[in-house]
Chains A and B, each alone.
Chain A
């Protein structure tokens, strides 16, 4: 079912530490996944994506891991900075006849302490 009005999971880290944000997805037929960062008052900002034929992808300071066996996605942020404080959402793209809709997870509030 869908979550309604639940508080966001939170993660608090010290500046310079590594952060790991986790996400469970629901549809084994999903073949494309994206992590977004959303700051207060703004729209989701693309961070990194991964296709289902991969299990790891690296960007600048970020790594996404995909475990299709348990339908789990994670985002690792190296050397977390105060500017990384935001809500992070995973999104999956389901294979539909019309294609292209994203289904978002519930989000994780990351707070970086100086």
Chain B
């Protein structure tokens, strides 16, 4: 019973490059959420997606950030033209349904910007 799988675990990029973070939800889960965590802080919601649809992107910066969850394959969080302030841990979670259900998290991608 694989949990939420994220890759890569660590990603280093130079300023101005693109970062692509991948998330495969738990089997049977069709709801995916992305969160961002700075050191010694709680997780901050970014975006909520179902298959092929963005449901809520109110926590995601309007520029340089995008997310998708295609019909086939993992969910992708894409950050274009990265800046030092993008350095953080990015976590993906999934749930079976929407609403009052536990969200189960992957072990995150730690993004470092040089």
Contact = CB atoms under 8 A, between A and B. Distances in A.
Interface of A: 3-8, 31-32, 34, 36, 41-46, 49, 51, 89, 91, 93, 96, 98-107
A68 B107 CA distance: 32
B91 A46 contact: no
Contact of B42 (A89, A96, A100): A89
Given A34-B102, A42-B107, A98-B55, A103 B45 contact: yes
B99 A44 contact: no
A43 B59 contact: no
Contacts, number: 80
Interface of B: 4, 6, 31, 33, 35, 38-45, 48, 55-56, 59, 91, 93, 95, 98-100, 102-108
A50 to B, nearest CB: 10
Q: Per DSSP, are chain A's interface residues mostly helix, strand or loop, or mixed?
A: loop
Contacts of B103: 34, 46, 100, 102
Nearest to B95: A100
B9 to A, nearest CB: 9
A101 B56 contact: yes
B23 to A, nearest CB: 11
Question: Which residue of A7, A32, A34, A98 has the most chain B CB atoms within 10 A of its CB atom?
Answer: A98
A106 to B, nearest CB: 6
